[in-house]
Amino acid sequence: MVSGAAHWDAAYSARAPETLPWANPGASETLPDVLSALAPGDPVLDAGGGASPLTAELLARGLGPVTVLDLSPRALDRARAALGDRAADVTWIAADLRRWTPDRDYALWHDRAVFHFMATEADRAAYVASLAAALRPGGQAVIATFAPDGPETCSGLPVTRYAPADLAATLERHRPGGFAPLSARRVIHTTPAGRAQSFQVSTFRRL
Ligand SMILES: C[S@@+](CC[C@H](N)C(=O)[O-])C[C@H]1O[C@@H](n2cnc3c(N)ncnc32)[C@H](O)[C@@H]1O
Protein backbone atom coordinates (compact mmCIF):
# COMPACT_ATOMS: atom_id res chain seq x y z
CA MET A 1 0.00 0.00 0.00
CA VAL A 2 1.32 3.45 -0.89
CA SER A 3 0.77 5.81 2.02
CA GLY A 4 3.47 8.43 1.50
CA ALA A 5 3.56 11.63 -0.50
CA ALA A 6 2.63 9.78 -3.73
CA HIS A 7 -0.61 8.56 -2.19
CA TRP A 8 -1.64 12.03 -1.04
CA ASP A 9 -0.44 13.74 -4.24
CA ALA A 10 -2.70 11.36 -6.18
CA ALA A 11 -5.66 12.16 -3.92
CA TYR A 12 -5.21 15.90 -4.35
CA SER A 13 -4.68 15.53 -8.11
CA ALA A 14 -7.77 13.39 -8.66
CA ARG A 15 -10.35 15.78 -7.28
CA ALA A 16 -10.87 19.42 -6.44
CA PRO A 17 -10.12 20.00 -2.72
CA GLU A 18 -13.70 20.98 -1.94
CA THR A 19 -14.92 17.57 -3.16
CA LEU A 20 -12.50 15.45 -1.10
CA PRO A 21 -14.17 13.45 1.70
CA TRP A 22 -12.45 15.51 4.40
CA ALA A 23 -13.41 18.88 2.91
CA ASN A 24 -14.65 21.24 5.59
CA PRO A 25 -15.91 24.56 4.19
CA GLY A 26 -14.81 27.51 6.28
CA ALA A 27 -12.79 25.12 8.50
CA SER A 28 -15.88 25.28 10.69
CA GLU A 29 -15.28 22.05 12.60
CA THR A 30 -12.11 23.17 14.39
CA LEU A 31 -12.13 26.94 13.85
CA PRO A 32 -13.86 27.68 17.21
CA ASP A 33 -11.14 25.72 19.07
CA VAL A 34 -8.40 27.52 17.15
CA LEU A 35 -9.90 30.97 17.67
CA SER A 36 -10.36 30.46 21.39
CA ALA A 37 -6.68 29.44 21.71
CA LEU A 38 -5.16 32.23 19.60
CA ALA A 39 -4.07 35.78 20.35
CA PRO A 40 -3.06 38.27 17.64
CA GLY A 41 0.48 37.65 16.46
CA ASP A 42 0.57 34.03 17.65
CA PRO A 43 2.40 31.78 15.17
CA VAL A 44 0.25 28.88 13.96
CA LEU A 45 1.26 25.59 12.39
CA ASP A 46 -1.38 23.72 10.42
CA ALA A 47 0.22 20.27 10.62
CA GLY A 48 -0.86 18.15 7.65
CA GLY A 49 -2.95 21.14 6.62
CA GLY A 50 -3.30 20.04 3.01
CA ALA A 51 -5.61 22.41 1.15
CA SER A 52 -7.63 23.30 4.25
CA PRO A 53 -9.48 26.62 4.28
CA LEU A 54 -8.22 27.23 7.83
CA THR A 55 -5.39 29.45 6.58
CA ALA A 56 -7.79 31.72 4.66
CA GLU A 57 -9.99 32.02 7.75
CA LEU A 58 -7.03 33.01 9.93
CA LEU A 59 -5.63 35.50 7.41
CA ALA A 60 -9.08 37.07 7.00
CA ARG A 61 -9.08 37.75 10.76
CA GLY A 62 -5.58 39.19 10.76
CA LEU A 63 -4.28 36.18 12.71
CA GLY A 64 -1.00 34.36 12.25
CA PRO A 65 1.74 34.19 11.01
CA VAL A 66 0.56 30.90 9.53
CA THR A 67 2.72 27.97 8.45
CA VAL A 68 1.20 25.04 6.55
CA LEU A 69 3.14 21.78 6.54
CA ASP A 70 2.11 18.78 4.47
CA LEU A 71 3.62 15.62 3.07
CA SER A 72 2.01 16.30 -0.30
CA PRO A 73 3.52 19.01 -2.52
CA ARG A 74 0.38 18.74 -4.66
CA ALA A 75 -1.80 19.60 -1.67
CA LEU A 76 0.32 22.67 -1.00
CA ASP A 77 0.03 23.71 -4.68
CA ARG A 78 -3.74 23.46 -4.36
CA ALA A 79 -3.70 25.49 -1.15
CA ARG A 80 -1.48 28.21 -2.64
CA ALA A 81 -3.67 28.44 -5.75
CA ALA A 82 -6.81 28.88 -3.63
CA LEU A 83 -5.23 31.73 -1.68
CA GLY A 84 -3.96 33.65 -4.71
CA ASP A 85 -1.90 36.71 -3.69
CA ARG A 86 -2.36 35.93 0.00
CA ALA A 87 -0.28 32.75 -0.45
CA ALA A 88 2.82 34.93 -0.16
CA ASP A 89 1.83 35.70 3.45
CA VAL A 90 2.08 32.02 4.41
CA THR A 91 5.09 29.78 5.06
CA TRP A 92 4.77 26.49 3.16
CA ILE A 93 6.68 23.38 4.17
CA ALA A 94 6.60 20.12 2.21
CA ALA A 95 7.72 17.57 4.80
CA ASP A 96 6.82 14.42 6.65
CA LEU A 97 5.76 15.30 10.19
CA ARG A 98 7.50 12.13 11.39
CA ARG A 99 10.87 13.33 10.11
CA TRP A 100 10.72 17.08 10.63
CA THR A 101 12.81 19.40 12.75
CA PRO A 102 11.12 22.75 13.28
CA ASP A 103 13.30 25.84 12.87
CA ARG A 104 11.07 28.02 15.04
CA ASP A 105 8.40 27.55 17.69
CA TYR A 106 4.64 27.91 17.47
CA ALA A 107 1.89 29.04 19.82
CA LEU A 108 -0.67 26.80 18.17
CA TRP A 109 -0.48 23.39 16.49
CA HIS A 110 -3.60 22.46 14.51
CA ASP A 111 -4.14 18.95 13.21
CA ARG A 112 -7.41 17.93 11.66
CA ALA A 113 -7.50 14.33 10.46
CA VAL A 114 -3.74 13.67 10.37
CA PHE A 115 -2.69 12.03 13.64
CA HIS A 116 -5.16 9.19 13.12
CA PHE A 117 -3.05 8.08 10.12
CA MET A 118 -0.03 7.48 12.37
CA ALA A 119 -0.24 3.71 12.07
CA THR A 120 2.53 2.41 14.34
CA GLU A 121 3.93 3.29 17.76
CA ALA A 122 7.06 4.51 15.95
CA ASP A 123 4.94 6.87 13.80
CA ARG A 124 3.12 8.15 16.87
CA ALA A 125 6.36 8.63 18.78
CA ALA A 126 7.86 10.59 15.90
CA TYR A 127 4.73 12.75 15.56
CA VAL A 128 4.68 13.53 19.28
CA ALA A 129 8.40 14.39 19.18
CA SER A 130 7.71 16.92 16.41
CA LEU A 131 4.73 18.28 18.31
CA ALA A 132 6.80 18.69 21.48
CA ALA A 133 9.65 20.34 19.57
CA ALA A 134 7.41 22.74 17.66
CA LEU A 135 5.05 23.93 20.38
CA ARG A 136 6.36 26.53 22.82
CA PRO A 137 5.67 26.03 26.53
CA GLY A 138 2.13 27.30 27.19
CA GLY A 139 1.23 26.82 23.54
CA GLN A 140 -1.84 24.81 22.58
CA ALA A 141 -2.45 21.87 20.27
CA VAL A 142 -5.87 21.32 18.69
CA ILE A 143 -6.00 17.72 17.45
CA ALA A 144 -9.05 16.34 15.64
CA THR A 145 -9.20 12.60 14.94
CA PHE A 146 -11.87 10.08 14.12
CA ALA A 147 -13.75 9.09 17.27
CA PRO A 148 -14.28 5.43 18.32
CA ASP A 149 -17.52 5.32 16.29
CA GLY A 150 -15.88 7.03 13.28
CA PRO A 151 -14.70 5.34 10.08
CA GLU A 152 -11.99 2.66 10.14
CA THR A 153 -10.36 3.97 6.96
CA CYS A 154 -9.94 7.26 5.15
CA SER A 155 -8.58 7.83 1.67
CA GLY A 156 -8.08 4.05 1.44
CA LEU A 157 -5.75 4.02 4.47
CA PRO A 158 -6.38 2.47 7.89
CA VAL A 159 -6.80 4.90 10.78
CA THR A 160 -6.62 4.64 14.56
CA ARG A 161 -9.74 6.02 16.24
CA TYR A 162 -9.51 7.89 19.53
CA ALA A 163 -11.69 8.87 22.43
CA PRO A 164 -10.25 12.02 24.04
CA ALA A 165 -8.85 9.94 26.93
CA ASP A 166 -7.09 7.62 24.46
CA LEU A 167 -5.49 10.55 22.69
CA ALA A 168 -4.39 12.12 25.99
CA ALA A 169 -2.91 8.77 27.08
CA THR A 170 -1.06 8.42 23.77
CA LEU A 171 0.55 11.85 24.11
CA GLU A 172 1.43 11.10 27.73
CA ARG A 173 2.98 7.76 26.79
CA HIS A 174 5.27 9.38 24.24
CA ARG A 175 5.99 12.60 26.16
CA PRO A 176 5.39 12.06 29.87
CA GLY A 177 4.36 15.33 31.52
CA GLY A 178 4.50 17.11 28.18
CA PHE A 179 0.87 18.01 27.58
CA ALA A 180 -2.17 18.82 29.73
CA PRO A 181 -5.63 18.15 28.29
CA LEU A 182 -7.72 21.35 28.36
CA SER A 183 -10.95 20.43 26.60
CA ALA A 184 -12.51 17.92 24.25
CA ARG A 185 -15.69 17.76 22.27
CA ARG A 186 -17.42 15.68 19.67
CA VAL A 187 -17.92 16.88 16.10
CA ILE A 188 -19.86 15.24 13.28
CA HIS A 189 -18.26 15.81 9.89
CA THR A 190 -20.50 15.44 6.86
CA THR A 191 -18.59 14.45 3.71
CA PRO A 192 -19.47 16.10 0.39
CA ALA A 193 -21.24 12.79 -0.45
CA GLY A 194 -23.43 13.24 2.63
CA ARG A 195 -21.89 10.64 4.96
CA ALA A 196 -21.66 11.46 8.67
CA GLN A 197 -18.30 10.80 10.36
CA SER A 198 -17.66 11.14 14.11
CA PHE A 199 -14.63 13.11 15.21
CA GLN A 200 -13.27 14.13 18.57
CA VAL A 201 -11.50 17.50 18.88
CA SER A 202 -9.11 17.79 21.83
CA THR A 203 -7.09 20.79 22.95
CA PHE A 204 -3.88 20.38 24.97
CA ARG A 205 -1.50 22.80 26.60
CA ARG A 206 2.25 22.24 26.20
CA LEU A 207 3.78 22.09 29.67
C1 LIG B 1 -7.46 13.78 5.59
S2 LIG B 1 -6.32 14.95 5.04
C3 LIG B 1 -6.68 16.35 6.08
C4 LIG B 1 -6.12 17.64 5.53
C5 LIG B 1 -6.41 18.89 6.35
N6 LIG B 1 -5.88 18.76 7.69
C7 LIG B 1 -7.88 19.20 6.37
O8 LIG B 1 -8.50 19.21 7.41
O9 LIG B 1 -8.41 19.48 5.26
C10 LIG B 1 -4.79 14.34 5.72
C11 LIG B 1 -3.61 15.22 5.36
O12 LIG B 1 -2.47 14.78 6.09
C13 LIG B 1 -1.35 14.83 5.24
N14 LIG B 1 -0.39 13.88 5.81
C15 LIG B 1 -0.54 12.54 5.96
N16 LIG B 1 0.54 12.00 6.55
C17 LIG B 1 1.40 13.03 6.79
C18 LIG B 1 2.70 13.11 7.36
N19 LIG B 1 3.32 12.02 7.83
N20 LIG B 1 3.30 14.33 7.42
C21 LIG B 1 2.67 15.43 6.95
N22 LIG B 1 1.44 15.41 6.39
C23 LIG B 1 0.81 14.23 6.31
C24 LIG B 1 -1.91 14.44 3.88
O25 LIG B 1 -1.08 14.83 2.81
C26 LIG B 1 -3.25 15.18 3.90
O27 LIG B 1 -3.15 16.49 3.41
Q: What is the CATH number of the domain that holds 111?
A: 3.40.50.150
- Structure confidence at residue 176 as a pLDDT band (50, 70, 90): very high
Residues 105/155, Cβ–Cβ less than 8 Å: no
User: What's the 183 CA to ligand 1 centre distance in angstroms?
Assistant: 23
Flag whether 162 is in a domain.
Answer: yes
Residue from 114, 130, 189 to probe ligand 1 pocket by mutation (most atoms less than 8 Å from CB): 114
Residues 6+ apart with CB under 8 A from 4: 71, 96
Count of domains for the chain: 1
- 81-134 pLDDT, tens digit each: 999 999 999 999 999 999 999 999 999 999 999 999 999 999 999 999 999 999
Residues 6+ apart with CB under 8 A from 122: none
Tell me the percentage of the chain whose pLDDT exceeds 90. Answer: 99
Q: Which of 29, 6, 17 is nearest to 189 (CA)?
A: 29
Flag whether 94 is in a domain.
Answer: yes
Flag whether 121 is in a domain.
Answer: yes
> Quick check: CB of 75 below 6 Å from ligand 1?
yes
- Structure confidence at residue 3 as a pLDDT band (50, 70, 90): low
Q: What is the DSSP letter of 33?
A: H
Flag whether 106 is in a domain.
Answer: yes
Flag whether 101 is in a domain.
Answer: yes
**Angle value at C-alpha 30, between 26 and 31, nearest 5 degrees:** 55
pLDDT at 27 over 60: yes
> Quick check: CB of 114 below 6 Å from ligand 1?
yes
Flag whether 15 is in a domain.
Answer: no
> Quick check: CB of 70 below 6 Å from ligand 1?
yes
User: What's the 129 CA to ligand 1 centre distance in angstroms?
Assistant: 17
- 136-160 pLDDT, tens digit each: 999 999 999 999 999 999 999 999 9
Mean pLDDT for the chain?
97
Instruction: For residue 172, give its domain range.
Output: 5-10+21-206
Question: pTM of the entire structure?
Answer: 0.98
User: What's the 42 CA to ligand 1 centre distance in angstroms?
Assistant: 22
